[in-house]
Chains A and B, each alone.
Chain A
């Protein structure tokens, strides 16, 4: 599985877009980029995944660079409830996830 690198923590103002970066320079051509988040005292929650194209769902948007070496998860209008640890994972299969330490996102009012 691809090794990913994420900032340890980030702050974001409530109502603004939160842009969470992830580097995955060793990702192979058929490995997907998955994003999960974990709110305090809860289990992780799936957000979105993508291979090459940008993806959007009701929770977030995923922008993957053309060379696939990095990606950005975008929460368009962050709320206090989005405060969580965000995990970026490179994996061939969604049932083979290796979680790193993730990025702590703090949304502040």
Chain B
């Protein structure tokens, strides 16, 4: 079974530039997540999709970050304009996720995109 795919793996940009990350989840997984992981910290959820609808985007800095999941499969996360503090690894994950069912729903993570903003 193919895992979660992400691209690019690495990206270096200057502040105020824009950048986009792409994620292809495991086939059949309805739920897709984007996390931000700053060096030395655990991942922080930015946004969660159920099919092509947003379930939770409470921690997404909406003034500069946007995400979409067209057709309920692939997803893109965009940052415009980037700031120095956006330097982090951006992780995509997916799960079968039956909403409001306790337990299970384990998440499968991709390798991440390491973003460096200079």
Contacts and interface: CB of A to CB of B under 8 A. Distances in A.
A94 B103 contact: yes
Contacts of A51: 102-103
A20 B48 CA distance: 29
B106 A101 contact: no
Contact of A43 (B91, B100, B103): B91
Which bucket holds chain B's interface residue count? 20 to 34
A32 B102 CA distance: 8
B88 interface: no
Given A32-B103, A94-B105, A43 B42 contact: no
Contact of B101 (A44, A49, A93): A93
Contacts of B109: 42-45
Chain B interface helix/strand/loop/mixed: loop
Interface in A18-61: 30, 32, 34, 36, 41-46, 49, 51
Interface residues of A, number: 25
Contacts of B41: 101
Interface string B70-104: 00000000000000000000010101010111111
B105 A95 contact: yes
B4 interface: yes
A104 B22 CA distance: 29
B95 A95 contact: yes
- Per CB-CB distance, the 8 closest pairs between chain A and chain B, nearest first, are A43-B109, A99-B42, A94-B105, A46-B106, A95-B97, A95-B105, A99-B43, A44-B109
Given A44-B43, A44-B91, A94-B97, 18 more contacts: A30-B102, A42-B109, A42-B111, A42-B112, A43-B91, A43-B112, A46-B107, A49-B103, A51-B103, A93-B99, A93-B105, A94-B106, A94-B107, A95-B55, A95-B99, A99-B42, A101-B41, A102-B42
